[in-house]
């Protein structure tokens, strides 16, 4: 009872932060359970996220999250030492705020049982994801272009963007202006202010490279940094973005009504779902995290620090393996092959590498297409981006043993024959009025017969290249701004495409190169960055940049369910699935430090999942 008394006192102290403070507990592991209760009527709150945040530097996850059941009950899995240190316990659900009432914790045998309280709120500004602020902005090509252009690096509308918009609205005209003249003046101010941000974003494209890279903003003059031909969106698209934000970005962001935004989908999480988040170092920017066959570890590409990281999800221990290259490399995309080796594309100095987890050694190849300028600007960058994958997200080779790669700097597909070291480059589809880098060629997926490689271009198309003739044989058009980004294929001949700007997922019949379906996501501003095929669940998982959520799309019925994530600014660029059916990912906001830097492991807890 003494511990219950201490916890009751801690509850009162924690009221200001709306969390339950868990003090020192016995050395043995204690199960933590309880109920989430609405203070409005005393009923249980279903589908609430209950998060146990652990102190920085503690072994294991940085945080563990579970979900309440239909009656509001929740239970954490047994976790050694989880309650052996000071920790905070918080409940959250969109449309509620956490309130603390004293004296609610007690022991029940070896378990600690507690009640958490939520109060309904009309204003969801502090809990809503970035995408919510665009829920009422007009749909169409201009919105799609804005989402596809801005959300490539960070969330839209991020807190910093909202703060900037508030500063714009705080600008005042001189005295004596009539209402019409004042509004016209304010329109000019908004447009010029957002034009300035577009220029700033162009320069920050150079932040995709490591700090010590020769390709950074300090190495180029301002005119070069502003050259739209060296950026991921064109001059014309930049003007569309500035105009759309000036006209439609919310004038006031201090509040957001509950009626303005909802997740719009049933939960794909249940009371057995567990989300574990693992902390990376403050300067890390781990874009992706993947499992590898035969390895108990998870592996991530840290683009800012020229290394890959190894995470032990059992202990939270991290090890770092610098790329064995004399200069900056910028590891970007990481994927395993069937043997457990890890393949890593690198955006700097034209590098592509293979890391052997058993020997802990690298082998590197240089892929540099001809015709690139010999300078430090983006005009001289090959930007080796994605590699050909199969339906499991593993590296896939064509019939001749080649790995195919997308080359962002030249809008080409490259090939590497690892045994011989032979490399070659092939032109893809050219869009009128776009420079090579403007196309933003992105994903590469190999067909099941290994005879075709499918590629996406964020600024307009999905294409298919025949690996024998080396020619593009099929093109699937998308409207400007729809933003076909990372793709996956299933085992029935379909290609699934994340439409980043449009907030949709497209399904393409690979035999006919026809779009057979498009699925609207519940949040059309979610910015779906990647899709992942889940063979066992017969589902497509959608990793979103803007909505702090993951979607599950049932491949047969088209029904969509959602897993809300326990962090704001939970920017996801990829999801992988391990052999136990867990979802693996990481939060990857640019620049580093602008959002949480955490690896994410989601144990779905669905019964009957094959192992």
Angle (nearest 5°) at CA 442 between 437 and 446: 140
Q: Please, are residues 201 and 316 in contact by the beta-carbon 8 Å criterion? A: no
How many other C-beta atoms can be found within 10 angstroms of the C-beta atom of residue 591? 14
pLDDT at 610: 47
Q: What is the pTM of this model?
A: 0.92
Residue that the structure tokens 């939520």 belong to:
118
CA distance 31 to 19: 18
CA distance 536 to 297: 22
pLDDT along the chain (611 residues), means of 10: 34 37 47 92 96 87 96 83 71 94 56 86 93 93 96 91 90 72 84 94 85 80 90 93 95 89 93 96 93 97 95 95 95 97 96 97 96 84 96 97 97 97 96 92 97 96 97 96 97 97 98 97 97 97 97 97 96 96 94 87 77 40
Q: Give the pLDDT confidence of 254-295 residue by residue, as tens digits.
A: 999 988 898 899 999 999 999 999 999 988 999 999 999 999
> In this structure, are strands 484-489 and 471-477 parallel, antiparallel, or unpaired?
unpaired
Which of 402, 530, 534 lies closest to 468, judged by CA?
Answer: 402
The SS3 call for residue 75 is strand
pLDDT at 178: 75
Q: Kindly state the tokens that stand for 442.
A: 């992105």
CA distance 553 to 123: 30
Q: Kindly state the tokens that stand for 533.
A: 């095929």
pLDDT at 280: 94
pLDDT at 104: 52
pLDDT at 564: 97
Residue that the structure tokens 């890593």 belong to:
344
Q: Give the pLDDT confidence of 140-193 residue by residue, as tens digits.
A: 999 999 999 999 989 999 999 999 999 988 877 667 667 787 788 888 999 999
Q: Please, are residues 581 and 536 in contact by the beta-carbon 8 Å criterion? A: yes
CA distance 487 to 507: 10
Cross-strand bridge partners of residue 531 = 542
Q: Kindly state the tokens that stand for 611.
A: 């192992």
Which of 53, 38, 44, 11 lies closest to 567, judged by CA?
Answer: 53
Residue that the structure tokens 């590469």 belong to:
444
Cis peptide before 591 (omega within 30 of 0): yes
Q: Kindly state the tokens that stand for 552.
A: 């599950």
Length of the chain: 611
How many other C-beta atoms can be found within 10 angstroms of the C-beta atom of residue 215? 23
Q: Please, are residues 565 and 545 in contact by the beta-carbon 8 Å criterion? A: no
Which of 107, 101, 112 lies closest to 76, judged by CA?
Answer: 112
Q: Kindly state the tokens that stand for 230.
A: 């060296």
């Amino acid at each position: 009872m003494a511990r219950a008394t201490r916890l009751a006192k801690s509850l009162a102290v924690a009221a200001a932060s709306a969390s339950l403070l868990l003090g020192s507990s016995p050395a043995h592991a204690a199960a933590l359970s309880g109920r989430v209760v609405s203070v409005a009527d005393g009923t249980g709150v279903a589908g609430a996220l209950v998060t146990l945040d652990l102190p920085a530097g503690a072994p294991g996850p940085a945080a563990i999250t579970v979900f309440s059941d239909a009656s509001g009950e929740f239970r954490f899995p047994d976790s050694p030492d989880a309650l052996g240190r000071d920790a905070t316990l918080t409940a959250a659900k969109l449309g509620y705020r956490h309130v603390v009432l004293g004296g609610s914790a007690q022991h029940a045998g070896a378990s600690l049982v507690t009640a958490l309280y939520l109060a309904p709120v009309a204003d969801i500004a502090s809990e809503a994801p970035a995408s919510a602020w665009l829920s009422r902005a007009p749909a169409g090509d201009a919105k799609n272009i804005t989402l596809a252009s801005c959300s490539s690096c960070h969330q839209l509308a991020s807190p910093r963007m909202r703060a900037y918009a508030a500063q714009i609205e705080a600008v005042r005209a001189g005295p004596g202006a009539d209402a019409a003249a004042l509004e016209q003046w304010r329109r000019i101010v908004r447009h010029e202010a957002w034009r300035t941000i577009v220029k700033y974003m162009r320069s920050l494209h150079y932040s995709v490279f490591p700090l010590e890279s020769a390709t950074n903003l300090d190495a180029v003059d301002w005119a070069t940094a502003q050259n739209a031909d060296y950026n991921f969106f064109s001059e014309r698209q930049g003007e569309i973005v500035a105009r759309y934000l000036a006209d439609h970005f919310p004038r006031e962001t201090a509040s957001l009504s509950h009626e303005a935004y909802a997740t719009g989908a049933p939960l794909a999480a249940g009371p057995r779902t567990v989300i574990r988040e693992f902390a990376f170092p403050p300067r890390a920017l781990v874009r992706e995290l993947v499992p590898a066959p035969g390895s108990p570890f998870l592996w991530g590409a840290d683009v800012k620090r020229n290394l890959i990281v190894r995470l032990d999800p059992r202990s939270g221990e991290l090890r770092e393996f610098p790329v064995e290259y004399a200069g900056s490399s910028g590891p970007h995309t990481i994927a395993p092959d069937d043997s457990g080796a890890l393949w890593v594309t690198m955006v700097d100095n034209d590098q592509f590498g293979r890391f052997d987890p058993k020997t802990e050694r690298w082998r590197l190849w240089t892929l540099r297409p001809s015709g690139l300028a010999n300078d430090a600007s983006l005009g001289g960058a090959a930007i080796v981006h994605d590699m050909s994958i199969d339906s499991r997200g593993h590296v896939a080779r064509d019939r001749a043993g080649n790995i195919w790669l997308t080359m962002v700097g030249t809008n080409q597909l490259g090939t590497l024959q690892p045994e011989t070291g032979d490399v070659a480059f092939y032109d893809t589809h050219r869009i009128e009025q776009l420079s090579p880098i403007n196309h933003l060629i992105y994903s590469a997926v190999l067909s099941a017969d290994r005879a075709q490689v499918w590629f996406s271009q964020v600024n307009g198309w999905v294409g298919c290249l025949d690996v024998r003739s080396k020619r593009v044989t099929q093109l699937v058009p998308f409207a400007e701004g729809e933003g076909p980004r990372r793709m996956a294929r299933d085992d029935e001949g379909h290609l699934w495409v994340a439409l980043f700007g449009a907030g949709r997922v497209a399904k393409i019949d690979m035999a006919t190169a026809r779009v057979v379906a498009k699925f609207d996501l519940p949040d059309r501003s979610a910015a779906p960055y990647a899709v992942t095929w889940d063979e066992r669940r017969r589902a497509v998982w959608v990793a979103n940049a803007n909505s702090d959520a993951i979607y599950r799309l049932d491949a047969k019925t088209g029904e969509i369910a959602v897993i809300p994530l326990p962090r704001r600014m939970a920017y996801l660029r990829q999801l992988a699935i391990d052999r136990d059916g867990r979802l693996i990912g990481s939060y990857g906001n640019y620049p580093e430090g602008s959002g949480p830097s955490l690896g994410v492991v989601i144990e779905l807890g669905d019964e009957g999942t094959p192992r």
